Amino acid sequence: MTSFSLSLLLLSALGLGTASAQKAAKTASPTPYSAKGKTAKIYATAANTNLRLSAAGDLTFQAAEQPLETQVCVFVDPGHTFQTMLGIGGALTDAAAETFAKLPKPQQQELLRAYYSPTAGIGYTLARTSIHSSDFASGSYTYVAEKDEALKSFSVKHDEQFRIPFIKQAQAAAGGRLTLYASPWSPPGWMKDSGTMLRGGKLMPQYRQAWADYFVKFIRAYEQQGIPVWGLTVQNEPMATQKWESCIFTGEEERDFIKSYLGPTLQKAGLGSRKLIAWDHNRDLLYQRASAVLDDPQAAKYVWGIGYHWYETWTGSAMQFDNVKRVHEAYPDKNLLFTEGCLEKFEFAKVDRWDLGEKYGMSMIGDFNAGTVGWTDWNVLLDETGGPNHVGNFCYAPIIGDTKTGKLIYTNAYYYIGHFSKFIRPGAKRIISSANRDALQTTAFRNPDGSVAVVVMNQTDQPLEFQLRLAGQGAKSTSAAHSIMTFVVN
């Protein structure tokens, strides 16, 4: 019996009502965390070694005195908790599904285990897919006939060849626990002032309701296929005029589409429980776009959270984690979700480059520490060209499927992501993890089973000895040059 249940029984015996008992129990002081006598299992990935998410020994905690300023430390405090983890995963795109279909059956099963098994793999629990085509498909397509304003021809038959079977297999590999959300890259061209799905353009006012209805049709069609849709983003990258599928919304236009069309349409269709995510673009305009939508109560009531990508670096900027934090501070009742990131300009000869994984590690640590509840990589799988992609926008994925040889190539991005997804599970609460040297980047979570997972990353050329300090106890470790480590304390 839990301490909470015991509190309820005691208070009930004293004659207090259930509501009063619950209130009293909730306000009771939590039991302080103790690390005395505990050990931490170490998992490590490091450059110029064979360590790839490898077991690397144990640490035993002992009483630790006041540290000196000359001592390098990582301080972990489970006594303060923050956001709850939704999940970590990647996008199940047409490109990933088409590549998957070309692999031999043993490699298909290997890929599913590698991503979705929490024991043999890295335990993905979150997924994104597109509403009809994106750039990562063999061609552009929609689910309706030209000028079918009533959407009577709506059909996801195109997706039944590759994408839907792939998603179903991913769901099964994840034990049925795969949170899926969907994003549109563009409405059908005939709904836009440009007449094409490509190269930006805007949704014409007379088609706002039809486009909102399209979302409902998509959810129902996928759920009829046995694929639950947890959430939706309003528009992928609404400020980018791309040579591929794209559509422009200002903050005010997105706000008005949500409050006057998409939000009410989902509610009327009985789909109001689906999580609606605004923005879905880079961190640079994150606060401006969040405030444009969330400062309007009639729009905000439909919005679960704000999604974002990491491509603000195209302007020469570093990743802007403070913008994520500003949104979290201003709108603490809304959620933040990292919806896409990948390294662009694919070169097959460079799939072993070490900075691939380090970019993921830096982003995940910075995003989680800023208040993000979930993190979604872009394509889970691409082929040896970095595609297929119908406009030549070739990119890296954590696993490359070489369709010529039938082999899977694991980049170190796979292992870096795994240092989070394998050990930080849905329902985990972020706790404090603070380093006293900027060479060490760190975040930590306490899982629903009580275990603590601490991630420590070193992007420098030098190894660094440090003490991992947890609730007054300490243990010595070394962070190798260009490495990432996860410490799991049960």
Distance CA(333)–CA(327), nearest Å, equals 10
**Alpha helices of 48-104 — where are they, by DSSP H?**
94-102
Is position 223 annotated as part of the catalytic site?
no
Given the residues 237, 245, 254, 358, the one annotated as active site: 237
Identify the sign of the CA torsion 202, 205, 210, 214.
positive
Backbone angles phi, psi at 474, to 5 degrees: -140, 155
Calculated CA dihedral for residues 45, 50, 53, 58, nearest 10 degrees: -90
Specify whether the CB–CB gap between 90 and 116 falls below 8 A.
no
Distance CA(118)–CA(120), nearest Å, equals 6
Q: State whether residue 392 is helix, strand or coil.
A: coil
Distance CA(312)–CA(237), nearest Å, equals 11
Cα–Cα distance list, 135 to 103, 184, 191, 309 (Å): 21, 11, 19, 16
Count of alpha carbons within 13 Å of 87, Cβ hemisphere only?
22
Q: Encoding tokens for residue 121? A: 């793999």
**Quick one: which H or E segment has residue 448?**
none
Is position 340 annotated as part of the catalytic site?
yes
Given the residues 98, 245, 312, 340, the one annotated as active site: 340
Q: How many CB atoms lie within 10 A of CB 68?
A: 7
Q: State whether residue 335 is helix, strand or coil.
A: strand
Backbone angles phi, psi at 452, to 5 degrees: -110, 130
Q: What is the DSSP string of 130-195?
A: EES--SSSSS---SS-TT-TT-TT---GGGGTTHHHHHHHHHHHTTT--EEEEEES---GGGBTTS
By annotation, the residues acting in catalysis are 237, 340
